[in-house]
Chains A and B, each alone.
Chain A
Amino acid sequence: MPPPATTGRAPGPPDGGWGWAVVFGAFISIGFAYAFPKGLAIFFKEIQDFFGTSYSEIAWVSSIMLATTYGAGPISSVLVNRYGSRPVVIFGGLLCGIGMVSAASCTSILQLYICVGFITGFGLALNLQPSVIIIGKYFLKRRPIANGLAMAGSPVMLCTLAPLNQFLFDNFGWRGSFLILGAILLNCCVAGALFRPIGPATASVKSQMAEEGKSALKEVTEDAMEMNSPTNVPMGNKTEDEGGKDCCEKINQYLDFSLFKHRGFLIYLIGNVLMFLGFFAPIVFLAPYAKHIGIDEYSAAFLLSILAIVDMIARPTTGIIANSKWVRPRIQYFFSFSIAFNGTCHLLCPLASGYTGLVVYSIFFGLAFGMVCAMLFETLMDLVGAARFTSAVGLVTIAECCTILLGPPIGGTLIDTFGDYKYMFIKCGAVMVLAGTFLFIMNYYNYRMLAKEEKERKVKEDPKQDPVRTENEGRNNWNKETAQDGPELEPLRQEQEGLKKEVNGTNEV
């Protein structure tokens, strides 16, 4: 009885079906994680008056929240590795809700830092990572589209939260608004409920396989589930992995530090850390810049709305483009191009004079911003593979955390020192163009190295047609491929071949 090759790949992402419900859940989750800190800014003036603090003390609330959301990435990854996405997101949603509800009864700014900053920030971190991770588990062929759609949650939520927050504030004051926002954040639990665990799901698959094939796949899927053992640990059985005698192994079980030896990962990390230095500052300073050159407050706010709307459309569109067969294999180039495009927009901004110029800038900025954000996690998944993505995303976010927080203050210092906004735009533009070029060149190098390794491996494998192919070897093959860096499409084909050989091998026994 022929086991169909596709079901052989049990952790095979369904690329549809319930996956779209998962995308919707991720849409909500990611939307809250990114848009909520920005949406809170509406309450700051009132809170500042209430507690009698300065503006910078209030701004700390937002910074702490953002820092916690990014900094708690590794913890989130560890929890997802251990428990899967669903419980983590539900717990995160509960934490957010509790944080905001307790913030409603705060009597000092310090309590606000803790409730809104730490607790809610941590809850949002527990929302963000698992949502991104589970998309990688549910999609492969259509992953860029899924990523683009899910990341579109951020601008949509921002556009919804901003007027909603204003409405809540006008009717309930800041305390009542925090209470109701706590309830709204509980909707993240709904999103979490949608994250049906996927994995060796497949009781159906088991029953169809031949004995050896079945156990090989079982161990393979369990490896895929744990996804942590570094390549140098022999692919033993499940028991060996769970034993984890060495402490390094144990840590690696939860968070894969061997990623730091991964070429693609390092390239991504350096490029992104550089990029984030200039990523958020222009948004923060767009409205003040507009007011500075004499535009009134409402038109300045409208610029941001234009940005958000263009962003909203750009993200899924980028996902679709990135999924096309011309771009998908070279998605890293597309990513570097969009970063460089973003940088060029900033460099050209000082030339924009008057309101029309700024509107044009906002449109292009929104486009570029959407393109970069849509592919942010897609490219990481592409480089590292869905298997190690969990740990990768945790490590990347904590590294980015520093530069994200540094970006706007550095921009602010530039503006204060020179009294002119153009230096800030030039700095952001230069940094991003640099990051884009770096990524482009390094990815070119990476692709070439991968192609070389591919060739070497093919040459090695052909003579190795042993009559007795043990499961171990078969598994080694498969695992080497999963752990292999490189564009996912290659391993896709490799896996199919490998499995075919396996089955052949078992038959030949």
Chain B
Amino acid sequence: MPAAFSGKRLRLLLCLSLSFSLSGGSPADPTMTTQDVNKSQANFLTKMQAGLNESSPERMMATQTVNQQTHGSPSDHLTLGHNISTPGPDLATKVFKQASGGNVSDVTFVEYEVLLPGVSGTSVEKNITLDHGTRIELSCRLDNKYSHLKSLQVTWKRGNETVRHINKTETSWSIQLRISDNSKLGSYSCTLKGEEEISATFHLQVPKIEGKEKPIISYEGDTAIMICKSFGYTPIAWTWYMTNGSEQIAINDTLLANKYVIHRISANVTHMKILKLTKEDSGVYWCEAAFELGKSKGKLKLKVLSLMVPLKPFLAIVAEVVILVTIIFLYEIYSKKKEKSAEAEKEFDQVEQLNSEESNGLENSSARHRKI
């Protein structure tokens, strides 16, 4: 397996280079070494450009020598130009990439580019989500209007380790990575040191899973359904956990089939049904999606309430309704009674009036009628 082979070789080289560095390296004549370095570097570079694929031990040795020799004088590297970075395992990785054969022509790098702002202090960040192993190329490009800035030192780093980069153009620099497992993920940053420092960071991550921020509310004896979705990326497997104190315990739905039912509805969606809820089922649940490059979790909260909880406001409002209706009806009866008594009085008055009118004579009344 080429991978295993390159892994072994890589480890070998690592050990060797480390041992040499630890031993302090030989304080050879700087000029001599640098010239050697130059030559071997040049050789190396041309060989790379030629795209040779053979993996010969001599090449390893040559590079080893390079490692060995150049290690003693790091300062010279800087003066030589911005292409050279301190040797490290990644250099070898690059070699291996070339050497592992057959892949150069059909290597498709997924490219992510970031345009650097000219202003220092502001840091540009880019999040890249990867769910399976790929080769990627991360590049930092400086806007053309800043191309007047000379003497720029470009460093690519991951954490504290430097990654060897290539000059794509005069104003862009990139690194090429092969992401094959979780350890390769992380933050890679490019820094341009000139008069001011400009930097950009790429965050390589597994896809995030969203849970629910608000708690799911359910009732005792009822069923609760929890749903987790992955957006865009298909996980290999889903696992559900419940929190017991501070630990997370995986939920085994075959074991407790009458309590938990886990369904994978579609490739990106998982359902978990919790049946016959009790108060103890309240708490935090996690849904974990396993991707090739790692795992990602989503958080869900469940609250189980007793039936009494909504019943109290319900009864309060019903009581309010009954009271209001009673008040309105009572008021109506009261005002009707008032009206009736007022009418009775009026009628009495009118009867009296009529009597007095009749006593005044018919003529007056007819006159009044006609007046209408």
Report A's interface with B, CB cutoff 8 A: 1-3, 49-50, 52, 170-173, 175-177, 179-180, 182-184, 186-187, 189-190, 193-194, 196, 203-204, 207-208, 500, 503-504, 507
A156 to chain B: closest CB distance in Å?
19
A-B contact count (CB 8 A): 86
Quick one: which of B222, B317, B321, B370 contacts A180, CB cutoff 8 A?
B317
A196 touches B227 (CB 8 A): no
A interface, by DSSP: helix, strand, loop or mixed? Answer: helix
Quick one: which of A173, A175, A196, A207 contacts B347, CB cutoff 8 A?
A207
Nearest-CB residue, chain B, relative to A503: B372
Q: Given the complex of chains A and B, what is the CA–CA distance between A171 and B219 in angstroms?
A: 12
Tell me which residues across on chain A come within 8 A of B325, comparing CB atoms. 189-190, 193
Q: Given the complex of chains A and B, what is the CA–CA distance between A2 and B271 in angstroms?
A: 82
A504 touches B314 (CB 8 A): no
A180 touches B313 (CB 8 A): yes
Q: Given the complex of chains A and B, what is the CA–CA distance between A503 and B371 in angstroms?
A: 11
B317 to chain A: closest CB distance in Å?
4
Q: Given the complex of chains A and B, what is the CA–CA distance between A504 and B372 in angstroms?
A: 8
A204 touches B343 (CB 8 A): yes
Q: Of residues B219, B311, B313, B321, which shows the largest number of chain A Cβ atoms within 10 Å of its Cβ?
A: B321
A179 touches B314 (CB 8 A): yes
Q: Given the complex of chains A and B, what is the CA–CA distance between A500 and B354 in angstroms?
A: 22
Of B67-75, B157-165, B210-218, B252-260, which stretch is located at the interface?
B210-218
Tell me which residues across on chain B come within 8 A of A50, comparing CB atoms. 223, 225
In the assembled complex, B57 has its CB within 8 A of some CB on chain A: no
B372 touches A176 (CB 8 A): no
A190 touches B324 (CB 8 A): yes
A-B complex: 5 closest residue pairs judged by Cβ atoms: A176-B310, A173-B217, A183-B317, A193-B328, A186-B321
Q: List 22 A-B contacts (CB under 8 A).
A: A1-B354, A1-B365, A3-B372, A49-B227, A172-B310, A173-B217, A175-B219, A175-B310, A177-B310, A180-B313, A180-B314, A183-B321, A184-B317, A189-B325, A190-B325, A190-B328, A196-B332, A204-B339, A207-B347, A208-B350, A504-B372, A507-B369
In the assembled complex, B357 has its CB within 8 A of some CB on chain A: yes
A2 touches B217 (CB 8 A): no
A172 touches B309 (CB 8 A): yes
A2 touches B309 (CB 8 A): no
Q: Given the complex of chains A and B, what is the CA–CA distance between A2 and B350 in angstroms?
A: 12
In the assembled complex, B318 has its CB within 8 A of some CB on chain A: yes
In the assembled complex, B59 has its CB within 8 A of some CB on chain A: no
B189 to chain A: closest CB distance in Å?
30
B314 touches A173 (CB 8 A): no
Quick one: which of B311, B317, B357 contacts A186, CB cutoff 8 A?
B317
Tell me which residues across on chain B come within 8 A of A173, comparing CB atoms. 216-219, 305
B372 touches A179 (CB 8 A): no
Chain B: how many interface residues by the 8 Å CB criterion?
40
A2 touches B318 (CB 8 A): no
A180 touches B310 (CB 8 A): yes
Known contacts A2-B372, A193-B328, A204-B343: A175-B317 contact under CB 8 Å: no
Chain B contacts with A in 306-334, Cβ cutoff 8 A: 309-311, 313-315, 317-318, 321, 324-325, 328-329, 332
Q: Given the complex of chains A and B, what is the CA–CA distance between A170 and B303 in angstroms?
A: 11
Tell me which residues across on chain B come within 8 A of A184, comparing CB atoms. 317
Chain B contacts with A in 333-352, Cβ cutoff 8 A: 339-340, 343, 346-347, 350
Q: Given the complex of chains A and B, what is the CA–CA distance between A187 and B317 in angstroms?
A: 8
Tell me which residues across on chain A come within 8 A of B145, comparing CB atoms. none
Tell me which residues across on chain B come within 8 A of A1, comparing CB atoms. 350, 353-354, 357, 365, 368
Quick one: which of A176, A183, A193, A507 contacts B217, CB cutoff 8 A?
A176
A172 touches B350 (CB 8 A): no
Nearest-CB residue, chain B, relative to A18: B335
Q: Given the complex of chains A and B, what is the CA–CA distance between A193 and B324 in angstroms?
A: 9
Tell me which residues across on chain A come within 8 A of B311, comparing CB atoms. 179
Q: Of residues B219, B305, B325, B354, which shows the largest number of chain A Cβ atoms within 10 Å of its Cβ?
A: B325
B369 touches A2 (CB 8 A): yes
Tell me which residues across on chain B come within 8 A of A208, comparing CB atoms. 350
Quick one: which of B227, B328, B357, B371 contacts A194, CB cutoff 8 A?
B328
Q: Given the complex of chains A and B, what is the CA–CA distance between A179 and B307 in angstroms?
A: 11
A82 to chain B: closest CB distance in Å?
21
Quick one: which of B222, B227, B321, B368 contacts A175, CB cutoff 8 A?
B222
Nearest-CB residue, chain A, relative to B324: A190
B363 to chain A: closest CB distance in Å?
14
Q: Given the complex of chains A and B, what is the CA–CA distance between A184 and B314 in angstroms?
A: 8
Nearest-CB residue, chain B, relative to A195: B328
Q: Given the complex of chains A and B, what is the CA–CA distance between A179 and B225 in angstroms?
A: 20
B310 touches A207 (CB 8 A): no
Q: Given the complex of chains A and B, what is the CA–CA distance between A189 and B314 in angstroms?
A: 15
Tell me which residues across on chain A come within 8 A of B371, comparing CB atoms. 2
Q: Given the complex of chains A and B, what is the CA–CA distance between A186 and B324 in angstroms?
A: 11
Q: Given the complex of chains A and B, what is the CA–CA distance between A70 and B266 in angstroms?
A: 40
B357 touches A176 (CB 8 A): no
Q: Given the complex of chains A and B, what is the CA–CA distance between A176 and B216 in angstroms?
A: 12
Nearest-CB residue, chain A, relative to B215: A170
